[in-house]
Amino acid sequence: MSNTLLTIGMITNEALRVLVNELTFTRNVNRQYDSEFGKAGAKIGDTLNIRLPVRYVGRRTPTLNVEGTVESSVPLTLSTQYGTDMSFTSAELKLSIDEFSDRIIKPAVANISNMIDYDGLQQYKNIYNAVGTPGTTPSTLLTYLQAGVKLDDNATPMGDRRLVLNPLAQATIVNALTTIFNPQKTISDQYLKGSMGTAVGFDWYMDQNVGVQTVGTYSGTPLTNYPSTPFASGASTLVTDGWTVTTTTLNVGDIFTIAGVYSVNPQSRITTGQLQQCVVTAATTTDGSGNSTISFSPALVGPNGLTLVYNQNVNALPANNAAITVLGASGTVSPQNLAFHKDAFTFATVDLPEMPGVKNGMARSKELGLSIRLTQGTDMVNDRAITRLDLLGGWATLRAQTACRICG
């Protein structure tokens, strides 16, 4: 191989292989690939609509009860063109592919994989389920088991569950469990590799890109404010009062609960006995009287009287003067580790169009759901190949209810 000049196709295929191996979070989520966009010329801002499963209420009687089929989808915008630009000499093109990969490709692709994983882990801001105490790194398995309960309560399939932790969270739990009875191989992996492997229903991974949430600055005794018009089922804004004047700000990603509003299992619609958690979707500041309107997710859907609703997620809607509790002390900085089913999130890529007047290489894998383009020009003066790697992709949260934040 050392006497054979490396081709653009060989380099592109190797770049894709390295990219897949370098990814951590992204490798463990649903990945979508669509070649149709490449035929039309994919660009930033193109949108894929990803269909979600249909839900029905069902019946317990012989009488026919035809329900409407309500299909929904999540828009996924191809919002980012990830890339790294590099150059190498004609002499370096005579290296073996392994040598070339170690010296040239791996450092270039590491940047791309790091950016993709970072953006993916920022999806935590769409997740409303959370366990743990912000500002305190979990040191027992109970916190992680509680995350599993959150997934169970939301009818999450048992397989394909993952945990992605920051380095401190992983080190803390591995240290805490080294003296507890475990299968011999598990103990060996924890001791030799410093990682958890598979435990308590999850495959465990470490990623330095785990997101960090700073809880907003707040004080007062916040309450819902619905003295005359009740909260409407399906609403995703909450009118509140009782905050301390001029000092309250809730940040995107902050989590709160409302007294008396409990989550329900999405299949049985039976209450879980746990207050429904909601996540702030737009930064919120109080007015001069301590009032604030909070935009949040998920929209709260209650029963229609005694009748169950197919998309019901709470046992009751917020009443007037119900107490509001924010998760975490004011201003707390907290890593947001994630427990999730692989279909909670998705990353999509498409084929980029070939660029005219230069060499083009495209590597794609429907199985892996990734597509990357390499474009190469020539600097004849300095005998260098000017090369760029590009990947057009976007992130979306598909099923927020099948993920849970683990505060650290």
Dump the DSSP string for 101-124.
IIIIIHHHHHHHHHHHHHHHHGGG
> Rounded to an integer, what distance in angstroms lies between the CA atom of residue 367 and that of residue 346?
14
Q: Tell which phi-psi region holds residue 257, choosing left (phi > 0), alpha (psi between -120 and 50) or beta.
A: beta
> Rounded to an integer, what distance in angstroms lies between the CA atom of residue 3 and that of residue 368?
32
Quote the crossing angle between the two packed helices 8-22 and 106-121, to the nearest 10°: 40
Q: Please check the confidence at residue 136 and state whether its pLDDT lies above 80.
A: yes
> Rounded to an integer, what distance in angstroms lies between the CA atom of residue 177 and that of residue 203?
16
Cβ-in-10-Å burial (0-12, 13-18, 19+) of 386 comes to middle
pLDDT band with cut points at 50, 70 and 90 for residue 190: very low
Q: Please check the confidence at residue 162 and state whether its pLDDT lies above 90.
A: yes
Q: Write down the mean pLDDT value for the chain.
A: 87
Query: What's the pLDDT at 252?
Result: 98
* Per-residue pLDDT reduced to its tens digit, 331-367: 999 999 999 999 999 998 888 888 888 888 888 887 7
* Per-residue pLDDT reduced to its tens digit, 76-115: 888 899 999 988 888 888 888 888 889 889 998 999 999 9
For residue 398, give the nearest of 347, 340, 348, 344 by alpha carbon.
344
Residue 163 Cα distances to 122, 195, 318, angstroms: 15, 12, 32
Query: What's the pLDDT at 245?
Result: 79
Token pair of 148 as six digits: 């599993």
* Per-residue pLDDT reduced to its tens digit, 148-160: 999 999 999 998 9
Q: Where are the beta strands (DSSP E) in 134-245?
A: 161-165, 198-199, 202-206, 212-214, 220-224, 235-243
**Between 2.40.10, 1.10.8, 2.40.30, 2.60.40, what CATH number should domain 216-330 receive?**
2.40.30
The arrangement of secondary structure in 125-212+334-343, i.e. its CATH architecture, is 2-Layer Sandwich (3.30)
Domain boundaries, the chain: 8-123+347-389, 125-212+334-343, 216-330
pLDDT band with cut points at 50, 70 and 90 for residue 183: low
Query: What's the pLDDT at 151?
Result: 97
Beta bridge partners of 284: 250
pTM of the model: 0.87
* Per-residue pLDDT reduced to its tens digit, 254-284: 999 999 999 998 888 889 999 999 999 999 9
Query: What's the pLDDT at 54?
Result: 60
Query: What's the pLDDT at 1?
Result: 37
